[in-house]
Structure 1
């Protein structure tokens, strides 16, 4: 049973990579607590700004710029294209420069078009700004890679799911915040709607810059320090536990002479860095010694050999991207997060279309529910995935859970599409039911990601995240060409979700011969 005090306590850590084995979510003084906070809060702020347009597009911006329904849907598609490109690039960037700097870079660069949103006076200018604001959506990849780098296999699914779930809720909060900011500027400050919506975008812009700055000042790259020194730190930790250098580490990162780990002896240190572990010929205890988990030597060796992130070559990246296991992850996220992005963009208009009595603010608030449910539903997907993994000891459990969620999501979407409810409670109830399985699927997906090619976690995370955005683009196009027939688009997405995910049942959870991630 989970111990609530772990939310406050300094966590037990893996003795090799110093990843935490619990989440001190309510302990901002602890390094792991700070990283966990900035992982979700940074993505939350990014998601808020990324989706700041749809709540005001329904009426205000569309009227001010004389936008048709087609223009609005086209702008939703454009907003996803840049994110797709950035996510593809962010994965390798995380492996090369580290997720912390990649994360901050996405936020700082994305803040620029956010501040420029108010300079749009035509549909073309709006689409250009929305394209570049899409850079913020790419911050999801470093958010997940950073979380994976600080939390161990027993808890990483829960960590990733909570981080992304809280972050994704920015897509729901924006439906509350942007209309509130807009209404305040009009009613309290006396601005015209033409000016008010432009000024409103300054608020998320300021929040992005402050968050990115704090992220860099208050956190670090890895549990062991600088990103560039992660391999050396792993070697030192092995030596500190009487395990010598490793011959067959991935890409020779930790190559050297193998010590006689079973006898407790090790190769003497020969560098200044190595000497940090030894004092007067004796091993110097790690600063985490009081919190280190007791793991068997074989588990420690597997962690060092297969789970230390390296910079893969272009050829190796391609091999990883076309692996069946990576494709399963991509297809899963294509139909969970991709569908979420597309639905989130039109949900306010869908409610407004089926229930014309709802105002822009009211329809926006009901639409916000879909995004806000991420706070509970996405973490649930990760929590259950970790629970199944711990009970069965098999990654198969995580993969089967992922496929199950995708299929049931498809069933709900088909039900919504076929019935197209004109009763408000019925439609809201079906959307909420669908949201559980769809958003839990997001959490289950990134609970499974750390197990596939863990030495190239950035590449796998970037590919999976990009596929989610590709799904968002494809499904936004589906909505675009079906116009106001939102129900038809819903059942099309449902059919595709089932068809793309069922074949994953027959694919092994990780590649044959993979070291680490088991």
Structure 2
């Protein structure tokens, strides 16, 4: 595959135009962080308001990834990705034209939906590549596309300065940058619509009977599914609380939002029941080779929480961290901080390739998650007395294992159950944003906790940074241990083809054995 990868035809064309679609969605999604200090100065925002915008940026991605997963299973990734890229221009233009903090919050919440684009390509790539190559293919898609966040951090501050043309008022540069990224994404969405295909010629794109909720194959798994959906709602309640604390609305309004979110959870639970009611009533029983173990989905959700969740949090805070720790300009801090996301180019494909070649996707997942935890614990020791290049090297070391873990996670996701890959990817992907919201809230609250509520001094901010990296390191080590205990090696991990593909023309074909299920 490595030798053929540079061809721009067949499945490799689909891979390349899809990772670039993901790349543009991340350029749009992360166009705030590198311009945050400029936006704050221009709009008169406090540090807490800027931190809240960072949280809003990832909040609605939680439900969006669930919904996008359902839509792409039903309508296919070509149409879903194209429409999402076109939609991206709307929150970009809204944010670029905002005149107050409330407008910034609303547009940034809507921007979070764009972050759901990652899920779409997971299903697209799994349709075009066999299981034995799925790790590297998904790694290239995820890693090269994820580089969009690094591209934003590395270039937007510089481009914004160029666009100012020495004019008074910082609003000219950042507004042009953010609006421009949305317009470019929309134009590419039109290109993708006319150039992508949902599946190779002669292959049937397999859809679930219903995309209203995730299909499970045992009664106990239904309860487990409802339990794992609780954090998806809880994290949105946390965002509502943060916005109330900033004075955007009163406590009573927050309670109304909480009730609405509770209603949303119950509606989601009802849809899951509707999809699985025959199973729960005993009218339907899945044969052994058509079952999958939902505990494996839950385990992948946790791995993505600690790896991608931490990446989103670190990408959002790292420019300010380097700027404050080493007294750098915003442009220099943004470029150096981009070294963290820069590793996506090699680390995520590397994680997928290791998963393909090592012969055990479970072992790969456990090892890279553990190394990620160690990397964060080492990063917690970085301070103003450090040699800057050494800090950059350590950042890249940590980043390699974070993104290799992401590649390993999504080398397993397409092997759980083919017909619901979109929904599984959506659930796993949503947990990445759960982790991001949790980590970003912890990061924004740590200075106040450590400083007793007073305005944090530089020493308190440095201590908060250290604790933040330590929290992420310990969480990763805990999940690494769970990988070795709970995670199971997927069936057919290294096969020449997905088990159902060669039988797509035969409706009587028995579906493939699923992840972690032995034949009875």
Aligned to 2:335: 365
2:94 to 109, 113, 116: 116
Taking structure 1 as the reference length, the TM-score comes to 0.74
Alignment partner of 1:230: what SS? coil
Q: How does 1:394-413 map to 2 (within 5 A)?
A: 397-413=360-376
Confirm whether residue 167 of structure 1 aligns to residue 145 of structure 2.
yes
Alignment partner of 1:368: what SS? helix
What is the rounded CA distance, in whole Å, between the counterparts of 1:482 and 1:321 in structure 2? 40
Q: CA deviation at 1:157?
A: 0.9
Aligned to 1:500: 479
Alignment partner of 2:164: what SS? helix
Change (3 A) 1:31 1:312: farther
1:464 to 417, 420, 428: 428
Confirm whether residue 481 of structure 1 aligns to residue 430 of structure 2.
no
What is the rounded CA distance, in whole Å, between the counterparts of 1:367 and 1:497 in structure 2? 21
Q: CA deviation at 1:418?
A: 4.2
Alignment partner of 2:512: what SS? coil
Native 8 Å contact 2:351 2:406 kept in 1: yes
Change (3 A) 1:316 1:500: farther
Aligned to 1:416: 379
* Corresponding residue pairs, total: 409
What is the rounded CA distance, in whole Å, between the counterparts of 2:368 and 2:302 in structure 1? 13
What is the rounded CA distance, in whole Å, between the counterparts of 2:278 and 2:72 in structure 1? 13
Can you list the C-alpha shifts for 1:342-390, whole angstroms capped at 9, x where unaligned?
Answer: 000000000011111x10100011011111110011110001111113x
What is the rounded CA distance, in whole Å, between the counterparts of 1:373 and 1:48 in structure 2? 16
Q: CA deviation at 1:177?
A: 2.2
Native 8 Å contact 1:176 1:368 kept in 2: yes
Native 8 Å contact 1:34 1:218 kept in 2: no
Alignment partner of 1:121: what SS? coil
Confirm whether residue 314 of structure 1 aligns to residue 292 of structure 2.
no
2:319 to 340, 344, 348: 348
Aligned to 1:212: 189
What is the rounded CA distance, in whole Å, between the counterparts of 2:336 and 2:201 in structure 1? 44
- Structure 2 residue ranges without an equivalent (≥5): 208-215, 218-271, 281-290, 448-460, 492-509, 516-520
What is the rounded CA distance, in whole Å, between the counterparts of 1:494 and 1:202 in structure 2? 36
Q: CA deviation at 1:500?
A: 2.7
Can you list the C-alpha shifts for 1:400-448, whole angstroms capped at 9, x where unaligned?
Answer: 2111111111111112224546312332222111111111111111111
Can you list the C-alpha shifts for 1:432-490, whole angstroms capped at 9, x where unaligned?
Answer: 11111111111111111122122321121111111111111111111111133212111
What is the rounded CA distance, in whole Å, between the counterparts of 1:498 and 1:127 in structure 2? 34
Change (3 A) 1:322 1:509: closer
Q: CA deviation at 1:493?
A: 1.0
Q: CA deviation at 1:31?
A: 2.9
Q: CA deviation at 1:312?
A: 11
Change (3 A) 1:510 1:463: farther
Can you list the C-alpha shifts for 1:261-304, whole angstroms capped at 9, x where unaligned?
Answer: xxxxxxxxxxxxxxxxxxxxxxxxxxxxxxxxxxxxxxxxxxxx
Can you list the C-alpha shifts for 1:478-518, whole angstroms capped at 9, x where unaligned?
Answer: 11111332121110111111113312212252689983467
Aligned to 2:31: 52
Native 8 Å contact 1:157 1:443 kept in 2: yes
- Structure exhibiting the larger radius of gyration computed from Cα positions: 1
Q: How does 1:368-379 map to 2 (within 5 A)?
A: 368-379=338-349
What is the rounded CA distance, in whole Å, between the counterparts of 1:231 and 1:68 in structure 2? 49
What is the rounded CA distance, in whole Å, between the counterparts of 1:317 and 1:434 in structure 2? 47
Aligned to 1:27: 7
Q: How does 1:1-16 map to 2 (within 5 A)?
A: 4=3, 7=4
What is the rounded CA distance, in whole Å, between the counterparts of 2:97 and 2:190 in structure 1? 25
Q: How does 1:377-456 map to 2 (within 5 A)?
A: 377-389=347-359, 397-418=360-381, 420=383, 422-423=385-386, 424-456=388-420
Regions of 4+ moved over 6 Å: 316-322, 511-514
Aligned to 2:498: none
Q: CA deviation at 1:172?
A: 0.4
Native 8 Å contact 1:47 1:171 kept in 2: yes
Root-mean-square deviation (CA, aligned residues, Å) is 2.7
- Structure 1 residue ranges without an equivalent (≥5): 8-24, 233-249, 252-310, 390-396
